[in-house]
Structures are given as structure tokens and as C-alpha cells.
Amino acid sequence: MRFERNSLSAILAVACLFPLLVSDQYILHLAIMVLFYAVLATSLNLIVGYVGEFSLGHTAFLGIGAYAAALLSLHLGLPIYLTIPLAGLIAAVFGYLIGLVTLKLEGPYFVIVTLAFAEVLRLIANNWIGFTNGPMGLAGVSQPAILSNATPLATKQVYYAIGLLVAAFALYLAYRFVHSNAGRAAVAVRESRYVAQSIGVSPFGAAMLAFILSAGLAGLAGGFYAHYISFVGPDVFQFAFMASMIIMVLMGGKGTLLGPLAGALIVTLLEEYLREVQLLRLTIFGLIVMAVVLFLPRGLLGSLARRRETYSGTTSTKPAGGAA
Amino acid sequence: MELFLQFVANGLVTGAFYALSALGLTLIFGLMRVVNFAHGELYMLGGVLGWFMTTYLGLNFFLGLALVAVIMGGFGWLVDRLLIERVRDQGEEPGVLLTIGLSIFLANATLFVIGPTPLKVQGALADGPIFLGPIILTKMRLLAVALCILLILAAHLLIRRTRLGRAMRATFQDPMAARLSGIRIERVYAATFALGTVLAASAGMLLGSIYSAQASIGGLISLKAFVVVILGGMGSFGGAILGGLMLGVAEALWGGYVATGMVDIIGFVLVIIVLLARPQGLFSSRTERA
Amino acid sequence: MNNPTGTAPLLRAEGLNMVFGGITAVRDLSFDIGGGEIVGLIGPNGAGKTTCFNMLTGFYRPTEGRVFFQGRDITGLKPYAIARMGVVRSFQKTNVMKNLNVFENVLTGHFLAARQSLLDTFLPRGHVARTERAVRDSAAEIIAAIGLAKRMDAPAALLSCGELRLLEVAVALAARPRLLMLDEPAAGLNSHEATEFGEVLKTLVGPHVQSLLLVEHNMSLVMGVSHRVIVMNFGEKLAEGLPSEILANRDVVEAYLGKAAE
């Protein structure tokens, strides 16, 4: 746990210093996307690692958050520091509702139903013209007031700061959850439903908590996205986002906190590198997913980032050696 | 009333194809416990190859269908031997992820090669309506449905009456026992996957001759196939047929009476409702022992 | 009803029946377990012992009959609800959390002891840290008591069969059961380990748990440890009594060994 905490603090420190050292807009944009994907990957990882199932419909919560923030901003004129948290909350509520259905299922059924939900939402977004403006999407999502006359560079820097705030908050929540009794309960359910039940854990309750948290974090990311890109359309539910998230979680290593961060960094850079060959980008993604599954099942950080709890206590038992 | 019958007839036609397509998926799951997310892409490849054979090369429809079956069967065999074989003993999740990766790869590679425009598979018969009482169907549709039923029957006979089919069923029930009695289970797995692929690809070509073949159709087809399989029960042959027909008719009725825009939604809503009530699907039974 | 403490029974099973399809796995089973007792449940394979366990702990809903714990009807409650009331069980096919190490397993087992509100999960106040420390100390103590102290950091997947059984018991203990139910805990232990294990079990009743229900095939372990023994055969209760009485019971011997040729 200490390694993880120290690493996270170090990463946070670097991230804070980053904009002071960099004044290239393009690099700042990449960094912002890394922050965005870091939150998304962390949220998907909660489902994979702490519910123990693979969701293919996670774009549902990303999209709900994005649309929520856009609609709140456009119709109610709410400022960004309200829309993003509200987007997270609304997505969390949907997480509860969708979880009521999906968490009763396992394995392939879970995968399909989550995918079905994402598809349903996409179809609704595409067809409910009155509410979501259909394929034309919602444009002109508001910018923070201080940016009204700002240079493009300053805009990026402000968004970087906001993104960093969101990411730090998201990681804080994830960290707290993972290291809590509730987090351990979710792991128990993932490992063995029978053991979990026999120690008093309600499998549904434990999974639901992880699921709601995961949905809320994805919603935060979506809300941020809506303001940064300033446009939200049904494409936000498209599978390409899901593919990216899958690769991030796989490459970084499932079930760790650092893994998704590494995955987000790698995949964002990869996507940029492949932008030249946009048409082949997804093709290569498919190959990468297969390669990771076949050759790197624990992900790049899988074994590294996995730290075990040890006991270094003061009872008469022999204290465990080695750093935590 | 006549309109209703027409909708039902249309629904049954579409449903027959859903059934054929889902059959491949349910066989692969039922016999191999592999959830094949690349199923829709196999269907798509059947359609694209069908276009290649008939429209591009100008071959006869039936010859083209046979060639597509052989080629896709071989492709399925290879996919199983080279990819799925490696993760077979690691549980369900690696198979899911692997086939997801495969699906992304196949869909986009095909898109890259042939572009996004829909392609027409040249049918065997000239377009022309047939009147069955108040119902209107095209000749090509009827032919396609007939071929569809033939293929389903052939698959059924293969599984029930041949040595290979027996080997498949034995391997499904107990791989270790099957191996110990001399069955080459690696080959059985590959053959099963090939069979599923052939069924999917045939469905793709048949439907491609009625509508069109498109590189990006895979995702939706996969979803619909899964809907059918969930409705009918994973691994259930009869369930896939019933489920396919049900979905086809439901979509036709919804599209005809309510709205044509969101027809696809009906399947997903159905699945969500069904799984809410019966998490194991409509026709399957599951028991858990502590 | 044999009750050393003379008070109401801790657990009462009344007329339990379990029918699967056409098969009656358990028929009209009734018994009590009092406070401070170690009760052994024995019987040939297929006698219905695990089915009985499953019914008592909510994993199966009895087709007929009731289960009472501390006077409350717990028939058909969800397993985790029954666990929260103080009935914790282990499983016949070892169920531990294979991807965690021994310490993490037992720590996780302390779920009920360390329960927090949602707020405390995300914004922990001082008492959370104290609870966490207490729970970690408790985990270490239990691991030591059960004899796994040397293996505290070992991943569960690497433990030997005997060690896995011990770990299962340790995880169950972490859940602070009033009634601890163990399903063949000594399977895979050699006779020396089994004897030691029996000693450990005896020390548990009183300080750690109120009562113990034990399914076992190891006769010397069961007879040496139990205050009372219940014998099942073909889903029914065949006999009940002191270990010495059971050993001398002809029906029991026949159930296990069959009838001698005439």
C-alpha cells in the first residue's frame, strides 16, 4: 500500500508541475486527454477488478455524464464547477438503476446486457431529437467564465488544471474505496461468492457500491469532456471509446490503481502516434488487444503494481518482513 | 389483418436468418463455452466474400455459397487452432477479450480494404414477387429462407447423426473423458468453431443477397445474435431457432405498427426484460451447488 | 435433546426436508445444538450432511421444515444475513480467496467487525484507523492461533491442502461466529495434523465461538473432540448420542461397513 501511495503522490506532484514546464498547446492537449482517459480507465477498472466482470457498456456512463453536463449548461446555464459534479452524480444514479439489472448477471450475460444498455442509450440519443438534438448533437457547451477572453494556450492550461482536479478527486475516491472494508468485501465477492456470503458480505450490495462508484467517475469524465470539447453527440456512446478503455485496463493490468494510469498514458500516446494512419488505428487496436490477451495477460504493470497487504504489528506474532 | 399477416411473414423471414446466425453462436458457446464476440464479423465476412464471389468474380450463386462456406470454415478452423486454443484453459474472460480484439481487428481491416459502401451479393433468381394469399414475398427471400432451413437441418443432422457430432457432444460433456476415449478434442473444438463460422457466414451471404453486405454491420449482428441466444438459452439449438423467429416477428410488428426508426431497440429491451425476470435466459436451466 | 448448559438451544433444526427434482436428499431431519457444545455430524458419503449444512446456512431453501437460531426463525434467509446473525460455515471444496495471501484472506474475513458507513469509506475519521488497526491485530492473532503464523504472507494459491483447510477456518473465525460450522475441515490432514487440529478446535469453543458443528469423516478426530455425535444415513437421522454410544451402535456400524455375511 505504501508503494502505491508514494507512487500516486509522486505522479500527482509531477502532474502539478507539468503545465509550468510546458507551453506547447499540442502537448497540453495530449496531457489533458491523458487525464481524461485516466479517470475513465480507473472507473472501468473498478468494475473489472472489484466487481469481477467485464463491462462492454461503460460508454453508457461516459455519455450520460457528457449529455448531463451539456444539457445542464445549455438549458439551465449552470457553471462548470456545478455541471461536472452533477454529471457525476447523475451518472451514479444511472449506475444504480442499470446495476439493478446487470449485477444479477454473470459472465457473458453481464457483458451483453451492459452492451445492450449502451446501445439503447446511443439509439435514444440519436433519435430523441427534441431532447438531445439527435445526430446534430449539443454544441456550444459553456466555458468557464475566466476564459472569456483567454488565449488558446491559457484555455488549455485552465482545462488542464480542471482536468487535474477531476482526476485527483476521482483517484482519491478510488483509492479510499480500494483500501476500505467495502473494497475488501468487493474483492471477496470477486474471488468467491460463497466465501463472501459466509463472512456476511452481500454480493449484490458490495458489487453495487463498486458499480455506482465506477459509473460516477465515468460521469465526471464525461462532464469534463463535454466542456473541453464543447460538443456532445451520439458518438460519445460509440464503441471506439470502449475499445480504448479496454486496452488501457488490459495493458495497465487489471485490479490495480496504478495500472489504469499507465494504460491511459500509453494508449493516449499510441492513439496520437496512430493518428497519421487513422483508418488503420482501430485495426491495430484490435491486434493489440489480442496480443495483450495472448502474451501479456497480467498487463504491463500487472505484477509490478500489485502490492500485497502484509502485517507489521505489535502483537506476539512474528511481524511480517518487507515493506508494504 | 392482412397487414398483420404481412408483418408476421416478414418477421418470420428475418427471424429465420436471425436463427441461422444465432445458431452458430449458440453452438460455439454450448459446445465450447467460448463467447465469440467476433461472431458478427464472421457473418459480415460471409457477406463480403459472397459479394466477391458473385458480383466481383461473377460466379453462380450456389457455387459462391459453397465456396464461401468452405473458405470461412477453414478460417474458423484456423482462428480456433491459432488463437482460441491458447486461452482455452484460462477461463471465460480471456476468450471474451480475445474475440473482442478479433472483432475489432476484422471489422476495421475489412473496412480499410473495401470501404464503407454497402455491397450487393448477386442473387440466384431475378427479383420478383410471389403471392401467398395476402402475403407478398420476393422469390429471392423465399429461396434464401429455404436455404436457411436446409442449413439448419444439415447442422442438426451433423450433430445428431454423424461421428463428428457425437464426438462434439462427448467433448462438451466431459473433455477429459472424451480425450481418454481417443477423441482428438483439439480437432473437435476446431471443427465446432468452423461449423459455427460456416453458419454465420452463410447467414451473412444469404442476407447479403436480399439486402446488402457492409463492413460495419458486425457489431449490430453480434448484438442481435446474442439477444437471440439469451432469449433462447445459451447452447440450446431449438432455443436459437425459436428465439430468432421471436425476435424477427417482434421487430417486424414493432417496426410496422409503432416506428421504423428504433426497431433495433426492441431486441435490447427484450433482453433486459427477460434477464430481469430470468437471469439464465428463457429456456435454459442452471443450478448452482455450494 | 442433550443440552449441557440447560438453556434454550443455540440452533434448532425442525423437520428439515430437501427435495431436488425427484430425489429426497434429506428427510425429516431434526436436532438441536446447545451453547458450549461441539457436535459432530457423521455419515457415509451421500448421507446428506452437506445438504444439511446448506439448509442451515441459507444456501438452500428447505422444501419443508424450519431452522431457528437463538430463537429466531432463519429458514430461507439469505446466506449473508444468516452469517451476520452469527452462523458461519466453511465449505467442503476449499473456498478461499486464491489471489490473496493468508493475511489478506483473514483480514477480509473481518468484514463484519470492520463495517463502516459510506461516509467513513470515503472520508475516514479517526475511529476508522483504530478499527483497521484492531482488525489487523485480530487477523494476526487468529492466524497464530490456528497455526499458520509462518505462512502469513504466502499467497493462498501456494498453500498445501492442509494449510488451506486451516486458512478456511481462520477466515470463518474472523467473522466472529457464535456457531461455527465446519464441513470436513480435516480432509487432507495427516493423523498428526488432525490431532493437533482437534486440540485447536477444542480451544476455540468458549473464547472464540459458542458452539461448533463439525462434519467429518476422520473418526478419531470427531470422537475425540465432540461432546455429542449425530449420524445421518440416506438423508435421515440414524442415531444421536455420546461418542461412546455411537461407536457401540450397531446400526451405525452397519451403515458404514455393511452387514456381516451370515
pLDDT of C26-57, one tens digit each?
999 999 998 889 999 998 888 888 899 999 99
Flag whether pLDDT at B182 surpasses 90: no
Mean pLDDT of A220-243: 89
Range of the domain at A222: 22-236
CB contact (8 A) between residue B97 and residue A239: no
**Region C102-110 average pLDDT:** 92
Name the grid cell of A318: 512474528
Option in A198, A308, A321 nearest C101 (CB): A308
Report residue C28: phi and psi, to 5°: 50, 55
Q: Which residues of B236-267 are buried (b: 16+ CB within 10 A; e: fewer)?
A: bbebbbbbbbbbbbbbbbbbbeeeeebbbbbb
Of B105, B271, B281, the CB nearest to A286: B105
B98: left (phi over 0), alpha (psi -120 to 50) or beta: alpha
Report the pLDDT value the prediction gives residue A218, as an integer from 0 to 100.
96
Q: Is the pLDDT of residue B282 over 80?
A: no
- C144 and C127 in one domain? yes
**Residue A240 predicted with pLDDT over 50:** yes
pLDDT tens, residue by residue, C190-224: 888 888 888 888 888 888 888 999 998 888 889 88
How far is the alpha carbon of B36 from chain A, nearest alpha carbon, in Å?
10
Share of chain C above pLDDT 70, in %: 95
Residue with cell 483480514: C107
Q: What is the pLDDT of residue A323?
A: 31
Q: Is the pLDDT of residue A103 over 60?
A: yes
Shared-domain flag, residues C170 and C120: yes
Q: Examine the domain organization and report whether C19 and C78 are in the same domain.
A: yes
Give percent above pLDDT 70 in chain A: 92
Q: Does C143 touch chain A (CB under 8 A)?
A: yes
Choose from A237, A283, A284, A287 for mutation: most chain B CBs within 10 A. A283
> Cβ separation of B96 and A119 shorter than 8 Å?
no
Higher pLDDT, C75 or B159: C75
Residue where one domain finishes, among candidates C112, C144, C176: C176
Nearest to A184 among C111, C122, C141 (CB): C111
CATH number at residue C228: 3.40.50.300
| pLDDT (0 to 100) of residue A303 | 53
For A84, A177, A182, A209, A218, the CA distances from C119, given in Å and listed in that order, are 21, 11, 11, 13, 20
Specify whether the CB–CB gap between C237 and C42 falls below 8 A: no
Mean pLDDT, all residues of chain A: 85
Q: What is the pTM of this model?
A: 0.86
Cell numbers placing A190: 470477486
Could B109 and A286 be called an inter-chain contact, meaning their C-beta atoms sit closer than 8 Å? yes
Whether C70 has a pLDDT exceeding 80, the answer reads yes
Task: Say if C27 falls within a structural domain.
Answer: yes
Residue C231 lies in a domain: yes
In a domain, C3, yes or no: no
Band of the pLDDT at A314, cuts 50, 70, 90? very low
| Rounded average pLDDT over B53-77 | 90
How many beta-carbon pairs under 8 angstroms link A with B? 116
Cβ of A185 within 8 Å of Cβ of C91? The answer is no
- Among B126-135, B201-210, C109-118, where is mean pLDDT lowest? B126-135
Residue B262 scores a pLDDT above 80:
no
Same domain for C112 and C182?
no
Q: Does C91 touch chain B (CB under 8 A)?
A: yes
Residues 148-177 of C with CB under 8 A from A: 149-150, 152-153, 155, 171-172, 174-175
How many domains would you assign to chain A? Answer: 1
Contacts A292 to B, Cβ<8 Å: 101
Task: Assess whether pLDDT exceeds 60 at residue A318.
Answer: no
Average of pLDDT values for B161-179? 86
Interface membership of B118 toward A (CB under 8 Å): no
Give the pLDDT mean for B218-240.
Answer: 83
Domain membership flag for residue C236 = yes
What is the rounded average pLDDT of the residues B16-36?
85
Mean pLDDT of chain C: 86
Q: Is residue C62 one of the residues assigned to a domain?
A: yes
pLDDT of residue A235: 87
Q: Return the top range by mean pLDDT from B63-67, B165-169, B170-174.
A: B63-67
Residues on chain B touching C54 (C-beta within 8 angstroms) = 290
Query: Are C151 and C93 contacting, i.e. CB atoms less than 8 angstroms apart?
Result: no
pLDDT over threshold 50, residue A188 = yes
The mean per-residue pLDDT over the stretch A204-212 comes to: 93
8 Å CB contact of C171 and A199: yes
In a domain, C1, yes or no: no
B258's grid cell: 409503432
Gap from A308 CA to chain C (nearest CA, Å): 7
Q: Which pLDDT score is estimated for A321?
A: 32
Q: Residue A250 domain-assigned?
A: no
Pairing verdict, β C87-89 and C179-183: parallel
- Say what the ipTM of the complex is: 0.85
For residue C247, give the C-alpha cell: 461407536
Counting beta carbons within 10 angstroms of the beta carbon of residue A24, is it exposed (0 to 12), middle (13 to 18) or buried (19 or more)? exposed
Stretch B194-217: mean pLDDT: 88
> What pLDDT is stored for residue A315 in this prediction?
44
- What the block records as the C-alpha cell of C28 is 425429516
Residues of chain C numbered 47-106 and touching chain A (CB < 8 Å): 57-59, 78-80, 83-84, 88-91, 95-101, 103-104
Question: In this complex, is the C-beta atom of B100 within 8 Å of any C-beta atom belonging to chain A?
Answer: yes
Domains contained in chain C, number:
2
Asked, for residue C138, whether it belongs to a domain, the answer is: yes
Residue in chain B lying closest to C91 (CA): B290
What range defines the domain where residue C168 resides? Answer: 96-176
- Give domain status of residue C2, yes or no: no
User: Which amino acid is located at C26 in the chain?
Assistant: V
The DSSP symbol for A138 reads E
Integer angstrom CA distances of residue B254 from A215, A225, B259, B260, C125: 32, 36, 7, 8, 55
Of the candidates C113, C207, C104, C138, the one whose C-alpha atom is nearest the C-alpha of residue A315 is C138
Residue A275 pLDDT greater than 80, yes or no: no
pLDDT at B70: 94
Residues C75, C182, single domain; the answer is yes
Closest residue by Cα to residue A11 from A305, A308, A309, A323: A305
- Do C101 and C219 belong together in one domain? no
